[in-house]
A and B are shown apart, each in its own frame.
Chain A
Amino acid sequence: MNGTLHDLQQAIISADTAHVDQFLENINNTFDYERIYNECIEPALNILCANIQDRKGAIPELLMGLKQVHRIAGATGYSGGSKRQEKILMGVVEGDIHDMGKNVIRDVCTGYGYHVTDLGKNVPSAAFVEAAEAQQADIACLSTMMSTTVQAMEKTIMQLRACRPGIRIIIGGAFMNQEMAGRLAADGYAKNASTVMNEIERILQ
């Protein structure tokens, strides 16, 4: 059985749809998602993220692996969001509609078992505040690709802190960096989808 799970981990890493199909057919609902997640999915996603950081891979491979993860989750009846207790809110701040990076981050967080509320793009600060309160969000991931929307980012961070003082905030996007995170009073900065999990774990400590 361990060999089967190891094979599945490799199938996720190599985005081998046929192999994943074979696994799902063989288990015939006898595996629980918890075990598959712990022994296959999380290690596979960790390897895919590490490959990006080591320049042995790139984001599309992580996305292809995540596709397999979502298929496994669907086939095993896992509805998502129950692996981790923290709730994540995310969106692209007002004035910007570049949402590719944010969408990748959303899929990574979902793949790692977080409950994610995605507010989309061009999101006013008031909408972030309303959702943060309604969802009792623990983490907010804010994104922008532009320099002209840094003020919108700053305003959103200030308002989120005012409505939920304990919320942890991570920023990302082309003009963002660790220094900018400090300047905008964010808790963390994710350079790309491969580092967001490390950053979430760091700010939750």
Chain B
Amino acid sequence: MNTHILTIAEVDHNQLLSLLGYGSENPAPVSLLLRIQELIGSIIPKSLTALSAMTTITTIQHGLADTDAGTINSPTFGDLAVDAEAVIFALVTAGAEMDQLLHDCEDMVDAMILDALGSVLVEQGVEMLRNKLATELGQYVSLPFSPGYCDYPLSEQEKIFSMLGAEALGIHYHPVSFMMTPVKTISCILAAGKKPLNTNPCSICQLEQCQMRRLG
């Protein structure tokens, strides 16, 4: 198991504004943009903590990837991993500090900005981790695949946590809802291999109406 410290150099403003409900047809007002800059510049933690652990894919049986850590219960991931050699289990968190900021915030506009900022930061952290792992391994690494999305059951959260021993870092999940604390945390698996992979699980997912679909 490896621990990574990821430093976000620049927040993805387009993603942030999109999460807040803005786009090209309804640009954010200047006063909001200024407040976002103030919050980014003053109180947002820019360093994220990530954990990762890799396990070998032994076979693909009945469309599911069997690994040294057990079977990955997602046919879509099985399709994605058909040319992969390993599965990487990962967690990226903005930490308890971000939760505390959200908890202490009494201004609803600030709270909404902070909530969106936390989400954008961990999303960026996952992408940063993916690039880091690809470089370090010298392999292709797929886009992340999280429990609760596509056909990957939320109950698989348990497998990710048992692989990573995340509780030592203060990351927990609720045994019924599988919700994680700190709230701004992403758990995921990624396929890795020497052959070029179809790196985007969304391209083979059957949930065409999914709001989180990453295509185009």
A-to-B contact residues, CB < 8 Å: 14-15, 51-52, 55-61, 63-64, 66-67, 95-98, 100, 103-104, 107, 146-149
Within 166-194 of B, Cβ neighbours of A (below 8 Å) are at 174, 176-179, 181, 183
B177 near A63 with CB under 8 A, answer no
B178 near A148 with CB under 8 A, answer yes
B109 near A146 with CB under 8 A, answer no
Chain B residues lying within 8 Å of A51, measured Cβ to Cβ, are 26
Cα–Cα distance between A61 and B108 once the two chains are bound (Å) = 11
With contact pairs A64-B32, A103-B111 given, residues A58 and B20 touching in the complex (Cβ less than 8 Å): yes
For the complex, is B5 an interface residue (Cβ under 8 Å from A)?
A: no
Cα–Cα distance between A61 and B183 once the two chains are bound (Å) = 25
Chain B residues lying within 8 Å of A61, measured Cβ to Cβ, are 29, 32
**Among the interface residues A58, A63, A64, A96, which one has the most CB atoms of the partner chain B within 10 A?**
A58
A58 near B174 with CB under 8 A, answer no
Cα–Cα distance between A147 and B111 once the two chains are bound (Å) = 24
A103 near B108 with CB under 8 A, answer yes
For the complex, is B104 an interface residue (Cβ under 8 Å from A)?
A: no
**Knowing that A63-B112, A97-B179 are A-B contacts, what are 4 other residue pairs whose CB atoms are under 8 Å apart, sorted by A's residue number?**
A95-B177, A98-B179, A103-B111, A146-B179
For the complex, is B25 an interface residue (Cβ under 8 Å from A)?
A: yes
Cα–Cα distance between A66 and B112 once the two chains are bound (Å) = 14
Pick the contact of A67: B20, B109, B113, B178 (CB < 8 A): B109
B108 near A96 with CB under 8 A, answer no
For the complex, is B21 an interface residue (Cβ under 8 Å from A)?
A: yes
For the complex, is B115 an interface residue (Cβ under 8 Å from A)?
A: yes
Cα–Cα distance between A140 and B106 once the two chains are bound (Å) = 24
For the complex, is B2 an interface residue (Cβ under 8 Å from A)?
A: no
A104 near B112 with CB under 8 A, answer yes
Pick the contact of B20: A59, A97, A147 (CB < 8 A): A59
Contact string, B17-38, partner A, CB cutoff 8 A, digits 1/0? 0001111011011011000000
A67 near B32 with CB under 8 A, answer no
B112 near A60 with CB under 8 A, answer yes
Q: In the assembled complex, how far is the CB of residue A177 from the closest CB belonging to chain B, in whole angstroms?
A: 11
With contact pairs A55-B26, A147-B154, A148-B154 given, residues A63 and B108 touching in the complex (Cβ less than 8 Å): yes
Cα–Cα distance between A56 and B212 once the two chains are bound (Å) = 23
A60 near B28 with CB under 8 A, answer yes
Chain B residues lying within 8 Å of A149, measured Cβ to Cβ, are 177
Q: In the assembled complex, how far is the CB of residue A102 from the closest CB belonging to chain B, in whole angstroms?
A: 11
For the complex, is B138 an interface residue (Cβ under 8 Å from A)?
A: no
Residue of B nearest to A104 (CB): B108
Within 92-145 of B, Cβ neighbours of A (below 8 Å) are at 107-109, 111-113, 115
With contact pairs A67-B108, A96-B179, A100-B112 given, residues A60 and B174 touching in the complex (Cβ less than 8 Å): no
Cα–Cα distance between A60 and B107 once the two chains are bound (Å) = 11
